Homo-oligomer: A and B are copies of this chain.
Amino acid sequence: MRMVRIAVAGASGYAGGEVLRLLLSHPDVEIGALTAGGSAGTRLGEHQPHLLALADRVLLDTTPETLAGHDVVFLALPHGHSAALAAQLGADVVVIDCGADHRLVDAAAWSRWYGGEHAGSWPYGLPELPGARDALRGTKRVAVPGCYPTAISLALFPALAAGLAEPSVVVTAVTGTSGAGKSLKPHLLGAEVMGSLSAYGVGGVHRHTPEIVQNLSGVAGRTVDVSFTPVLAPLPRGILASCSAPTSASAGEVREAYEKAFADEPFVHLLPEGVWPTTAATLGANTVHLQVTVDHDAGRLIAVAAIDNLTKGTGGAAVQCMNLAVGLPETTGLPSNGVAP
């Protein structure tokens, strides 16, 4: 097969770096233009010292011209910057947007949560979600999910799809700090982060909330209420999502639903009964580790999912979707074993 020629816009950031890290091990890809905003003109090695093989590549400006001539363009840009750029890329180019611009189907939800004009929605890049994979095969446009919605949707959809949980879910998800990107904000400084846990975006105000609602309501066939609390913890990568919903099902029924939902999924690993996930086991892998149980005293189903927010949560999902879009086997080039300890 001919090599797939790719470009990455936003190559100096964490999402762009992760896409490149994975593509460097991809057997069917040739890495073309790397572009950036303020860092254009500098060497990639200054920003991504771990990507030795590309250290001397010079970053170009992010423009339709520099991105032209590639089969696939990955957009790893701040929210709100993808839509206008994507509109200037050819309709025959596969465009994979790691940002939020094309995730929400509902224009009103977009306005409420992000403001400005809705750019429309693209096929949603979570192949494991019922119905999603088919829409991704051969597509020219992909909206890569947010990292939290990835973990949370996979943790809860089998129960909701099977009618084993009530449509009112409560989630506290703990994340490493790379999820916030390379933003120079005081609360993201190492000295502030290490030794601390902090809640943020509490009370349903985090922008990933409507995306979780969209995913879960879609599979449940009715509106699912989502109470979502994100917590920042002192580690670079990893999300652990603690999810629950009222249930009257037995643990056995629930487990069966999860086993069935993920039986053929290469990247979702339902752990042996009684074993709970750790994010370390997913480091650098495109894998979800998952466990589920029922707390009969509390009348709730509890599901916990662990992912690497930069891999399955961003860059790995992007590459997985690229594989589907260009007709390669879905798992090509993607690691399923983590780096631990």
Chain A interface (Cβ < 8 Å from any Cβ of B): 14, 17, 21, 24-25, 45, 48-53, 168, 170, 172, 174, 176-178, 180, 182, 184-186, 188-200, 202-204, 209, 225-229, 231, 233-240, 242, 244, 269, 271-272, 275-285, 287, 289, 291, 293-300, 302, 304, 306, 335-341
Contacts and interface: CB of A to CB of B under 8 A. Distances in A.
Contacts of A297: 204, 209, 225-226
B244 A229 contact: yes
A184 B182 contact: no
A276 B17 contact: no
Report the copy number of this chain in the oligomer: 4
Given A195-B283, A198-B306, A229-B242, 11 more contacts: A48-B340, A49-B275, A50-B338, A190-B193, A190-B236, A193-B194, A196-B340, A197-B278, A199-B277, A233-B234, A236-B341
A60 to B, nearest CB: 20
A282 to B, nearest CB: 7
Contact of A190 (B21, B52, B172, B188): B188
Contacts of A238: 195-197
29 contacts: A21-B339, A25-B337, A49-B289, A172-B172, A177-B191, A180-B191, A182-B186, A190-B194, A192-B236, A192-B341, A193-B193, A194-B194, A195-B237, A195-B283, A196-B281, A197-B235, A197-B240, A198-B277, A200-B276, A203-B293, A204-B296, A209-B297, A227-B295, A227-B300, A234-B235, A237-B341, A284-B284, A284-B339, A339-B339
Given A24-B337, A49-B340, A337-B52, A295 B204 contact: yes
Contacts of A48: 340
Given A52-B269, A293-B202, A341-B14, A231 B225 contact: no
A276 B201 CA distance: 9
Top 4 closest pairs, chain A to chain B, by CB: A190-B193, A50-B338, A196-B280, A172-B172
A177 B226 CA distance: 30
Contacts of A306: 197-198
Given A197-B233, A233-B234, A281 B50 contact: yes
A202 B290 CA distance: 13
A149 to B, nearest CB: 16
Contact of A276 (B53, B202, B239, B339): B202
Contact of A340 (B17, B285, B336): B17
Contacts of A293: 202-203
Contacts of A176: 191, 197
Contacts of A197: 174, 176, 233, 235, 238-240, 278-279, 306
B231 A52 contact: no
Contacts of A275: 45, 49
Contact of A194 (B180, B235, B294): B235
A177 B199 contact: no
Given A178-B341, A300-B227, A341-B191, A199 B53 contact: no
Contacts of A234: 190, 194, 233-235
